[in-house]
Amino acid sequence: MPPPPSSSRPGLNGHPIATQNQQPYYRSYSSSSSASLKGCCCCLFLLFAFLALLVLAVVLIVILAVKPKKPQFDLQQVAVVYMGISNPSAVLDPTTASLSLTIRMLFTAVNPNKVGIRYGESSFTVMYKGMPLGRATVPGFYQDAHSTRNVEATISVDRVNLMQAHAADLVRDASLNDRVDLTVRGDVGAKIRVMNFDSPGVQVSVNCGIGISPRKQALIYKQCGFDGLSV
């Protein structure tokens, strides 16, 4: 193939200088496009991070302004629906007896805060000298600010086997003494609701001692204590 034609232009001394025909030059934009895309992603990330920090700061300011307080969860009433021993004469041999128990409990939830509280699902266990007899579950619910709400729970024990520790004491208390001392324990988890955001959880532990008369099918006494722990 013959070489491309050359052209000449005048030099400083008047003599022509031979030059080659110049080819067009195309610039690549791939590196600049990649850098622009990375810059946009970085700006979007910084924007979202700033907005998240701004929302968090506003929520914290609101929480500090309302000064959240620990909610109260109290066992108000205990109704003995039924309590009986299948073989009350088996005082010396309690392994032949079984216990049936149904009690209805009424709890009162008090929200002293300026904002609402969201409670999670809670469970309560009835025990005799550390021996679990039955358990009741309370579904989660929302409570408005400065309000009081009643919550019911029922514990049913159907012919529980007494071949455990303290079984003889339980049969003796129910048959001879007509008094059975039980303990109701449970943990209630709650979160304060501020601007559609939930605060860190607050746990209220319920620990109540109750006395039941099997013959009268009635409550003798009730004494409760509470512990609140911020998580």
Q: What is the pLDDT of residues 161-200, one digit of tens each?
A: 665 557 778 878 887 888 989 999 998 888 877 666 666 6
Token code pair at residue 111? 């929200």
- Report pLDDT for 203: 82
- Report pLDDT for 184: 92
Residue type present at position 193:
R
DSSP string across 104-143: EEEEEEEE-SSSEEEE--EEEEEEETTEEEEEEEE--EEE
Residues (pLDDT < 70) of the chain are 1-35, 37, 39, 58-66, 87-97, 160-165, 194-200, 225-231
Q: Can you tell me which residue has the tokens 């009690």?
A: 103
- Report pLDDT for 181: 93
- Report pLDDT for 66: 60
DSSP string across 129-187: TTEEEEEEEE--EEE-TTEEEEEEEEEEEEEEE--STTHHHHHHIIIII--EEEEEEEE
The 10s digit of each residue's pLDDT in 37-63 is 676 778 877 888 888 887 777 666 666
Among residues 203, 180, 182, 177, which one has the least CA distance to residue 192?
A: 203
Q: What's the rounded Cα separation, in Å, for the pair 145 and 71?
A: 11
- Report pLDDT for 130: 85
- Report pLDDT for 125: 92
